[in-house]
Amino acid sequence: MSHDNSQIYRTTSARTGKMMAIMLGICIVGGVIFFSMWDYWISEAPPVVAMMAGGDDHGGPAAHTGDTITSDLSFIESSDFRTLAFNALPGEPDNNPTINMEVGDKIIFNIVNDGRSFHSFGVTHDDEGFSGIIPGSEVASASNPLKAGEGGTSEFIAGEDGIFYYICTVPGHREQGMVGQIIVGDASAQVMEPEVVEEVMEPVVEEVMEPEVVEEVMEPEVVEEVMEPEVVEEVMEPESTPVEFNGMISVPEGTGTPGCDETNACYIPFNVSILAGEEITWSNDDTAAHTVTSGSPADGPDGNFDSGLFMAGGTFSTTLDESGEYPYFCMVHPWMTGNITVN
């Protein structure tokens, strides 16, 4: 008699179910681990983003591989606040100093607000405006600017050749002069001289005109009696006379640019008379941010009221309980002034 000693392995449906459950569990755990690290898998910056931030051609962030440059910059203003600059006014030494650097060098900016207005700082590749600020180069912001005497530190590393600009990021201040150049790479290759176009002048042929002979008939001279104009004495109201007030003062569009002060149109009406305890409200109808700060540009805030920076479309209200004169101005645009008379 022969015996078959080979073994036959069988499994049960219960064992098969356990195996499937284990495999499913492994898949679920693996999926959780993968998606929990999703930020890591996508953390490599796309090339276009890196380029906007001054990154290198391989899409990575700009690396500090060179020298460290320190630049001390201060915000300053002319006495009439129409000209703004860094370090010195136009025509003076060290006005908006140009900074030269190479790819991989790092600039450390030490910023201080030595003016009376509000200011903020940043570096951009854009040759106009106040957008495109490169992350890490900011000191304060237009919505949270540096007040007089305040300062901060930032840094900038360029990942490519080109011209960058350090600016005041408060709208309008770059146009008033707060802008300087950062030249990365060969300065002579980056600074473009204006193209000179030679205009070929066509020869001008002058036509010689024969003088026309006109016989002038002399009329007898008539002497007319000159009437003296009647002088009407017009009584002019002084420009600073307070106007009838309805409780609301407008900050009109365009006041972020000098000029409204020439017609007292920076706050409308700019001089009002109210009773003690009466509420007064300002409405920002401009596209730029402003303040309503009691005091004067020459002497600074006096502490009676201050709106802080309020944006386009915003309002600010205050109540004055004591009689007197309350001059006020905008800390961002100091040519903007107004006055309240409390009776």
In a domain, 314, yes or no: yes
What is the rounded distance in angstroms from the CA atom of residue 109 to the CA atom of residue 117? 20
Pick the last residue of a domain from 187, 205, 223.
187
| pTM of the predicted model as reported, rounded to 2 decimal places | 0.60
Give exposure, 253-280, as e/b (b: 16+ Cβ within 10 Å): eebbebebbeebbbbbbbbbbbeeebeb
Partners of 251 in the β-ladder: 284
Query: What's the domain range around 272?
Result: 248-342
Give the confidence band of 7 by pLDDT, cuts at 50, 70, 90: low
Pick the last residue of a domain from 138, 167, 187.
187
Nearest to 292, CA basis, from 324, 260, 250, 259: 250
CATH classification at residue 331 = 2.60.40.420
8 A C-beta contact, residue 99 and residue 179: no
Helices (H) and strands (E) in the chain, counts: 4, 16
Identify the residue with better confidence: 180 or 208: 180
In a domain, 238, yes or no: no
pLDDT value for 199: 47
155: DSSP letter: E
Pick the last residue of a domain from 187, 213, 231.
187
Please state the rounded mean pLDDT for residues 101-114.
Answer: 96
What is the rounded distance in angstroms from the CA atom of residue 341 to the CA atom of residue 223? 58
Write the pLDDT tens digit of every residue in 218-251: 555 544 555 555 544 444 444 455 556 788 999 9
Query: For the chain, how many structural domains are there in total?
Result: 2
Which amino acid, 139?
Answer: V
